[in-house]
Structure 1
């Protein structure tokens, strides 16, 4: 099963996150083989605002353990966690994406009224990862989580149709993980 996990930073926690970066990466190394996408969100002045991980895990209990055992969460760096089952509609990882290295990248979250019919997801070569946010059992659609390249936050937000979602938010995002690792894809 695939899960979307977004740890949202507690205001002022950047020094703590910076101090804990090796603990965070060491923890994430345990899940590297199952990662679909990962990386930080931040403001236009590069202040960290959160951490995104999309990965395969056996079940919802394993996803909760992944999210809540993360060292930064345990230390109080995050104010909350958005954790949802997710479906990889592109069938690839972010490391399979051939984008521009200098492009602006965004996490776009769309939230809809719970429904059983699918939500409309964007298409196109600017997509890095895209999928619906689902209930734990996968039967109810709760929204969408999309990683993409766009010229601006406004353009990124427009990737999700406003008639499908009651709330859409966009966050600057970039590829994450260790700057150097044994596996350059992780």
Structure 2
């Protein structure tokens, strides 16, 4: 993550989570900061993937982590050091 050097001015950063048990498609983008598999507590069952990405908006961020058509994708604002605090 700390080796990420492809930052684009004006792009936001997002946490993208896909819940998809199928075999993952390859992830290839210079806008991926870091990504990995989400595994069940047994360490074997695949639940999905998570990625920290840089993109112009939430919709573009969601497309950077390929998932099956039956998967569920969540996109959350993120920054180095964690997600921004929620305002009430």
TM-score, length-scaled by structure 1 = 0.39
Return 5+ residue gaps in structure 2 as ranges.
83-88
Alignment deviations for residues 63-114 of structure 1 (CA, whole Å, 9 cap, x no partner): xxxxxxxxxxxxxxxxxxxxxxxxxxxxxxx11111326431110000024x
- RMSD of equivalent CA atoms: 2.1
Return 5+ residue gaps in structure 1 as ranges.
1-93, 178-186
Partner residue, 2:50: 145
Number of residue equivalences: 81
Q: Distance in 1 between matches of 2:69 and 2:46?
A: 11
Report the alpha carbon displacement of residue 128 of structure 1 after superposing the two structures with TM: 0.6
Report the alpha carbon displacement of residue 137 of structure 1 after superposing the two structures with TM: 3.0
Flag the structure with larger Rg.
1
Partner residue, 1:107: 15
Structure with more contact order per residue of length (Cα contacts < 8 Å, sep ≥ 6): 2
Contact 1:119/1:141, CA 8 A, preserved across alignment: no
Contact 1:119/1:164, CA 8 A, preserved across alignment: no
TM-score, length-scaled by structure 2 = 0.76
